[in-house]
Each structure stands twice: as structure tokens, then as C-alpha cells.
Amino acid sequence: MSDAMERDIDGDGDRAESIRMIRDSAAGIAPRGGDRRRVRALRYRAPGYDPAVLRAMGEQGWIGLRVPEERGGAGLGMREFCALAGELGAALAPEPLIPAALSAALLAAAGAEGPLEGVLSGEAPVLTAWQESPAALEAPGGEGARLFIPQAGGAAGFLVPVREGGRLSLRLQPREGADLVLEGTQDGGFYGTLRPAGGTAIAADVGAALEAALDEAALGTAAYLLGVADQAFAATLDYLRTRQQFGKAIGAFQALQHRAADLTVQIALTRASIEAAAGRLDAGADRAARRAAVSRAKARASDTAMLVTRQAIQLHGGIGYTDEADIGLYLRKAMVLANAFGPAALHRRRFAAEFPEDEG
């Protein structure tokens, strides 16, 4: 065996161990098989998550997992980030780790060390208000409304990308005095609508950094959705094994077995797509390849999460449609995040536009 091959094998082993440790650490804060009392207690109560848990995530280094070490982060890859996101999805963790990681990437690119430190620690979360209303495209000075800011009620401030002189500059808008309106979401969280006013300019051009960070956030959300689908399916299999009808477990009925087999295939395909995309990003894929890989993964994850959670409700029977049944929490989460960082239809269009013809 060559030295290069030995290094590759050793590197893969180290990577697998790193991912295993991340998953183990996630179990200490957000166990995938735990009860859902914490999630239920936080629903529909601003800010929609536990700030202490977000700080604990910061202490673990999760928010800065992708931030370079010289900027105070862990400098790990997308495979590690997706493994973590998947565990958080399985646990239905409502904390805005992926949006915070997006902001951390922008602040690191901008060299804004003060705000970055607060974001990485989870003590002063800053969220990126990147989605514009149609009016914002024409509004002077970037003052048009910014929409769908996740869990915005807990933010210490907001990063506002603004088109100026053909570039995308970045401003930091403090939470205090901000014109912010919160609206509840299906999963019990909140989206914020922000009308920026002033703020401090912290970078003159973050166009490329924002595009890359949004792709990473989209892939992280795909992994989170995979975790949602995976755990919803596991809970459904447990139910099928224990629920008795006509003197035997309903999982013994062939029609239900066929439905479960179909869902198993969809989950496996989604996992493979996400792992492939994460590997491409870690390998430094060019812009088109990165966008195609991310879009394929996000489109599949959105569709799979909705399919699996809807089927899970049906396979639970009448109890699945009650709010008291935990299985409904997974469907609600999937309904909210399926469109986050782009719905499946948008990503299918982008994949079609970016997919390299020589890979067809």
C-alpha cells in the first residue's frame, strides 16, 4: 500500500471519529430519542427556544464549527456540520444554530471580531436578515423590510446585506430600537420581519461570502430535515411493532410493511445525497458544482421530510392527528423548514441550471 493511500485511510478514520464524537456530544444537549417535553414547553412562547441551550451549543463550539481556527472557530468540514445538524433535527432542537452559523461565517469573512465572539459563544446571537421583500429591492439605503428571520426575538442584533454601488455591503443593526415584528410558525417558533434603519457598516463587499454561507446553511438545513425524517420514521416503526390489532402487531400487515420499505428507500437516498454534497463542499468544489450538489440535497431532503412525516401521521392512525401525539411535532417542523433557504421547487430549478453536463 502506498504512503498516500495510507494517509487517506488514516484521514478517513480520523474524520469518522470526529463525526462520532460530535454526534455523542449532541446527545448530551439534544438527545434524539428523548421525550419532547422541552420542545413543547418552548412552543409559542417568545423567543421560541432556550437561550441557555444556545449558549451551551456555543460552549461546545458548534456555532463556530465551520469558522476557521484563526477566527476562533473549530475549522471543521461540512460533513461534521451536517452530522451535527442531523442530530439536532432528530431531537427537534428549536435553537437557531444554523442561522447563527450563517452569521458567524459572514462576521468571520468581514473580520468583525467583536460581534463574532458574541455569536460564537451564543451569548449575543446575531441573525442575518437576508430575505428581502419586493419593496426592499427598490428601497433606498437597504431600508426595505427583511422577512422570515428565524427565532428573531432572541437576537442581540441583525446583519443586513445592502446593495450599494454594485456590491453587497454588510451592516450590523442592533436589536435595541429595531423595528421588528414576530409572527408564530407551525412548529411553535417565530419568524421576524425587520425594517432596517441605519446600523453600522462592517464590510464593503460580502457577496461571495454570503452566497457560500447560504449554500452551507441550505445543506445544513437539509441535514436537519433528514434528522427529522429519520427520527419520525424510527418512532413510527416502534409504534407499528407495539400497536396491536386483530391479535397481532400492526407492523405485521404487509401493506404497512410496503409503505415502510418505500420510506426507508427515500431516507437512504436523501442521506446519500447530503453526504455527497458535504463531501463536494469539503473538497473545494467550484461554484456551479457546489450549487448543484446543495440544491440536489436540499430539494430531496425537503420532499423526503414532508413525505415521511405525513406518512408517519397516517401510520399512527387517529392518535397521530392529535396535538398530544409527539409524532405531529415532526410534521410541524418539516412544514416550517422544508422552505427554509429555498423550497424544493426552487432548488430543482437551480440544480437543472447548474448541473454539469459531463456528469449526466
CA pair distance 272, 280, nearest whole angstrom? 12
For domain 209-359, is the CATH number 1.20.140.10? yes
Write the DSSP symbol of residue 97.
Answer: H
For 145-181, write each residue's pLDDT tens digit.
999 999 999 999 999 999 888 899 999 999 998 999 9
Domain spans, the chain: 3-205, 209-359
Q: What is the DSSP string of 125-167?
A: -EEE--EEPGGGGTSGGG-S-EEEEETGGG-SEEEEEEEETTE
Where does 3-205 sit in CATH, by number?
A: 1.10.540.10
pLDDT at 124 over 50: yes
Across 232-271, b (16+ Cβ under 10 Å) vs e yields bbebbbebbeeeeeeeeebbeeeebeebbeebeebbeebb
Q: What pTM did the predictor assign?
A: 0.92
Write the DSSP symbol of residue 189.
Answer: -
For 252-274, write each residue's pLDDT tens digit.
455 567 788 999 999 999 999 99
* pLDDT tier at 197, thresholds 50, 70, 90: confident
CA 62 to chain centre: 13
Grid cell locating 144: 426595505
CA pair distance 83, 81, nearest whole angstrom? 5
CA distance from start to end of the chain: 33
pLDDT at 251 over 90: no
- Quote the pLDDT of residue 246: 53
Q: Are strands 131-132 and 179-184 parallel, antiparallel or unpaired?
A: unpaired
For 6-63, write each residue's pLDDT tens digit.
444 345 778 889 899 999 999 999 998 778 999 999 999 999 999 999 999 999 999 9
